[in-house]
Chain A
Amino acid sequence: MRTLLIFSAATIAALVLQTTVWHWLPLGGAIPDLLLILCVYLGLHQHTVGGALGAFFLGYAQDSFSGGAVGLNAFAMSLVFALVYLTSRRLWVDNAISKVVLVFLASVIKTMVVVGLIAIFLSTAGIWSTLARHLVIEAAVAAALSPPVFAMLASTRHITEAEDEA
């Protein structure tokens, strides 16, 4: 329950930042994806069915405020969660640098997956130039933001671990 509350609060904060504050920053239209960082954190530390559902809901919440069809980001987030989960089971990704690299790659994969779905289901007008402009910068900013976000989430881990033990 505590884990759910912490992640709900983090999701709301991330959504508010992504729909308001990020648009005021001079990033040339790129929007750092905090929800993706939360998804990668779930893939690294929440190896439960709840983690998978949480990743799906992060994408669904993003879809609710996005111009695209509902399900695009939910699919991409679920895929990112599964890939991060499988990676973390096979590779040691517990130091800061490997997590930053993981967030960078996750951002690139997520964007490519969303673009792929758009190409299949919707219109692609203007999408390639936007992709070229934002793919790397968004991934780089998300990767740069991941250490403080991970640190904040890690600081709440003792609360969630106490719950797990109980």
Chain B
Amino acid sequence: MLEFVRRNRIILTSGFLLLFSLLLVSTSVRAPRRRDPLTALLLEAMRPLQVGVSDAGSALTAVWNNYVELVGVRAENEALRARARELEQHANRLGEIEESNQHLKELLGFRSTLDGQTVNAQISGRDPGALFQSLTIDKGERDGVRKGFAVLSPDGVVGQVVATSAHAARVLLVTDHNSGVDAVVQRSRARGIVAGALADGCVMKYLQRGEDVAVGDRVTTSGLDGIFPKGVLIGEVTKVSRNHRGLLQLAEVRPSASLERLEDVLVVAPGARVNEPANGDS
């Protein structure tokens, strides 16, 4: 028996780890809000590296773009080229600052429309796989960020905090297939749940068949899930599907926030309210 265990110890260990993984998945699915100390430790340990690489990447991208723009200038214009490069870099820096300033102004403007605890955060990393849609932000529990907090941008809903460490947090995007937001169609007040559909955007489910929903309708948060403030824009209906025999209809929703280009977000505690129509809710 001992000899059998010794000879097959690797396969037995793998078998044990496979069962343990299934147990982890099952536990994680049943109690998604349970705090996982190892995940928090990894998030915290990786944060400075992710922030450093993200910053270095932004700087390299700026230099690369600058280089590409300058390729093709003739040799006799060397002096002019050097000057142009210098000015280009300067303009690029100014552009970056202006862009960043614009983002922050928008975020600040949006923040002032919210009544409640809010935290500004920067994106420091994205999901390591294509089958899920999440991102990492540079603010964590020390900054007041907690699991279940809403994450918004001036353009609309971004997602929800699903894991935190002291100085970082992971955000499940509204386009992830595990995400769900209680929502209403702004024009007809038809209610449903907006769930993620990965690269296809989102879908609004559980809409009664008789409800008035049309392409171009804006979809906003209902505030009834206790996570997202009422009246924040989620997106716009791009297609409505009615099953012939079903009681429900389904609407495809294109998220209003540019989730691929986000740099700064606002983390909002449950219970926050929109003081004035931030992005269109009446």
Contacts and interface: CB of A to CB of B under 8 A. Distances in A.
Given A47-B10, A69-B25, A75-B25, A123 B130 contact: no
Contacts of B28: 69-71
Interface string A69-99: 1111111001101100110000000000000
A123 B21 contact: no
Interface stretch (B75-83, B107-115, B195-203): B195-203
A111 B131 contact: yes
A16 B46 CA distance: 8
A102 B46 CA distance: 29
Interface in A105-136: 111, 114-115, 117-118, 121-127, 129-131, 133-134
B130 A127 contact: no
Contacts, number: 189
A16 B129 contact: no
Given A64-B39, A68-B178, A73 B129 contact: yes
A30 to B, nearest CB: 6
Closest 8 CB pairs of A and B: A71-B24, A67-B132, A126-B197, A67-B134, A75-B21, A71-B25, A126-B198, A19-B125
13 contacts: A18-B129, A23-B126, A49-B9, A66-B134, A68-B131, A69-B24, A71-B28, A75-B18, A75-B22, A75-B25, A126-B196, A129-B198, A131-B131
Contact of B61 (A24, A47, A56, A65): A24
Given A71-B24, A131-B131, A81 B14 contact: yes
Given A65-B136, A129-B199, A56 B128 contact: no
Interface in A44-75: 47-49, 51-53, 55-56, 59-75
Contacts of A117: 25
B69 interface: no
Contacts of A18: 128-129
A53 B199 contact: no
B38 A60 contact: yes
Which range holds the interface residue count of chain A? 35 or more
B57 A121 contact: no
Contacts of A33: 128-129
Given A15-B128, A35-B128, 18 more contacts: A19-B126, A65-B127, A66-B132, A67-B133, A68-B129, A68-B178, A69-B32, A72-B25, A78-B17, A81-B14, A114-B129, A122-B29, A125-B177, A126-B175, A127-B198, A130-B131, A130-B198, A138-B130
A19 B127 contact: yes
In terms of DSSP, what is the predominant structure of the interface of chain A?
helix
Given A16-B50, A56-B21, A82-B14, A21 B57 contact: yes
A20 interface: yes
Given A124-B177, A127-B177, A114 B131 contact: yes
Nearest to B130: A134
Given A19-B125, A20-B54, A51-B10, A79 B18 contact: yes
B125 A20 contact: yes
A114 B177 CA distance: 14
A159 interface: no
A151 interface: no
B215 interface: no
B200 A126 contact: yes
A64 B17 contact: no
A37 interface: no
Contacts of B127: 19, 31, 65-67
B57 A24 contact: yes
Interface string B123-145: 01111111111101000000000
B53 A62 contact: no
Nearest to B61: A24
